[in-house]
A = this chain, B = another copy of it.
Amino acid sequence: MLFSGQPGVYFLDPSLHRIKCLQIPPIQLLSYKLLTNIQIHQRNEKMASFSTAQDLFIPLGKDGQRMSYRLLGPSPSSSGKIPLVMLMGFRGTMDQWDPALIDPLAAQRPVILTDIPGVGRSEGAVPLSITEWAQSVVDLLIVMRIPQVDVFGYSMGGCNAQMVALIAEEYSGGKVKVRRLVLAGTTPSDGQGVKRFKREELEAFQRLAAAQTVEQQKEAFMKGFFGRCSEKSWAEGKKSWKRIAGARKKTMGQLGKEGSRRQGIAFAKFMGEGSLEKLKGLKMPVLIANGCQDLLLPTENSYLMYKTLPNAYLHLYPDSGHGFLYQYADHFSSLVNLFLDGEKLGATLTPSKL
């Protein structure tokens, strides 16, 4: 969908610190030499945090619909560090990340938050396949001129992240390569050994899908993400909810009814797409993480992905479910930093696994 008819490219003017629209015929964009010097990214006078990062926009849709993103931490171009793009789960938007997870990551590397089309501040309709979600992410990275990226996907965003890793290089014509992948609280699509939802998991999913008021959203978050865990786990969940709610002045709320329905359709389609088999082709280091009893996407599937992927690390937490990354935000951000910064992790591959 890239460059088909959008009116120009928006970027953050480095001197004025505001969004400008650069009128360039779309087809010329990638060869437009000036763009290599114009920093699309924020300058690094003061690194943006989760609370202070500005909303930025690039028109990528067929009719010029804008995709929104935020850039945190050091500048990708001046720091020379590989950015980490974060992909959120069902009904979540850029606003719903926990700053206690994001800020320690952004202290070490550029972090790109984004919403797929139709979610949060990204315009358009939610695409009806996760492959298209992944294409929109790669489109964004092409325009941002990010040739190498690490990708972190959570929950349904972890399905998106799998697809980004699977399609990025071919879809972008070699312009975007995924270096490392983090799959948090997520699942492969159906395949041999994949555990299906249990009844109580469907309940947790339906509660998430149906939540309209903030109170209902909080209840769905607490019960779905910290259900069946200890009081300590619940207390950490509540703290996380507060951190998220208090982090930014203007928030969008969760994705509405029609968008959620379309996300559900895309997820159902994904589950039939056989990504599990395809994962065997991903050679990059992958960190898979989860709580010990994920009520939404069974923890066993994280172990299965570990056994399937040729170059995967598995980290499972105690006393936690789908919300492990909120509950253990301190530890997990350190673990992700350790994984992304480890130099020796690009091992050649083992012929057989467990």
- Cross-chain contact A232 with B335 (CB below 8 angstroms): no
Q: Is the CB of B303 within 8 A of A313?
A: no
**Complex Cα gap A351–B328 (Å):** 18
Q: How far is the CB of A353 from chain B (nearest CB, A)?
A: 5
Number of this chain's copies in the complex: 2
Q: Which of B315, B345, B354 interacts with A315 by CB under 8 Å? A: B315
Contact with B along A295-333 (1 / 0, CB 8 A): 000011001001101111111111110000000101100
Judge whether A213 is part of the interface by a CB distance below 8 angstroms.
no
- When the two chains form their complex, are residues B310 and A318 in contact, meaning their CB atoms are under 8 A apart? yes
A245 part of interface (Cβ distance < 8 Å): no
Chain B residue with the shortest CB-CB distance to A318: B311
Chain A 238-279 residues near chain B, CB threshold 8 A:
none
Q: In the bound complex, what is the Cα–Cα distance between A319 and B228 (angstroms)?
A: 34
Contact between chains at B231 and A353 (CB < 8 Å): no
A285→B318 contact, CB < 8 A: yes
Pairwise interchain contact B317-A351, C-beta atoms closer than 8 A: no
List 14 A–B pairs whose Cβ atoms lie within 8 Å, in order of A's numbering: A228-B351, A228-B352, A232-B347, A292-B306, A292-B307, A292-B350, A293-B353, A309-B318, A312-B318, A319-B347, A330-B342, A331-B344, A335-B335, A335-B338
